[in-house]
Amino acid sequence: MKKHRKKYEKPKKPYDKIRIERERELLSRYGLRRKREIWRAEAILRNLRRRARDILARKDPEKERELLDKVVKMGLLEDNPTLEDVLGLTVENILERRLQTLVYRLGLARTPKQARQFIVHGHVELDGRRVVWPGMLVPAGAESKLRLRLDKEKVFGGEAK
């Protein structure tokens, strides 16, 4: 059985006013449920940037290609990125690749919170399979495979109008 580990770290200064305001703005813009989702995106970004710094220091072309391929596959950067591009990524880049944000950006939902509700209730399909995790990072090229599958009777209640 796989051991479950935390995928984020809490901030070192819990009452930093600037950080709290920035997180509150991100919560409202992306329709997130709790700050833990921001901290998880920050942890993903922190790991990518740490790997990029290590590769720059060691000058390992094989690991560099591996990291750059992963970042392109995740959809964070376009073709032919450099390690400097990886170091320039922000939390917003990670949050833009979440399923919830993509459902909203593609116009399948009116608001980010409605997009989250559609996903959690099982109304969103990715490549023909139902996905119920709003925080899932959607790989590059999979945006075209996103579908909203609504049964009008279930969503709006009663008879279909």
**Domain-terminating residue out of 77, 96, 115:** 96
70 with 17, same domain: the answer is yes
> 97 near 138, Cβ under 8 Å?
yes
Which tens digits make up the pLDDT trace of 129-158? 999 999 999 999 999 999 998 775 555 555
Q: Is residue 40 part of a domain?
A: yes
Q: Is residue 11 part of a domain?
A: yes
**Domain-terminating residue out of 79, 96, 113:** 96
47 with 103, same domain: the answer is no
> 63 near 10, Cβ under 8 Å?
no
Percent of the chain scored above 70 by pLDDT? 94
pTM flag (> 0.75): yes
Q: Which token pair is 63? A: 């690991």
126 with 105, same domain: the answer is yes
pLDDT(47) > 50? yes
111 with 83, same domain: the answer is no
Residue 5 exposed, middle or buried by CB count within 10 Å (0-12, 13-18, 19+): exposed
Confidence (pLDDT) at 102: 97
Give residue 106's identity as a one-letter amino acid code: L
Strands, E assignment, the chain: 124-126, 129-130, 146-148
How many structural domains compose the chain? 2
Pairwise CA distance, residues 25 & 21, whole Å? 6
- The boundaries of the domain holding residue 82 are 7-96
At 111, the pLDDT band (50, 70, 90 cuts) reads very high
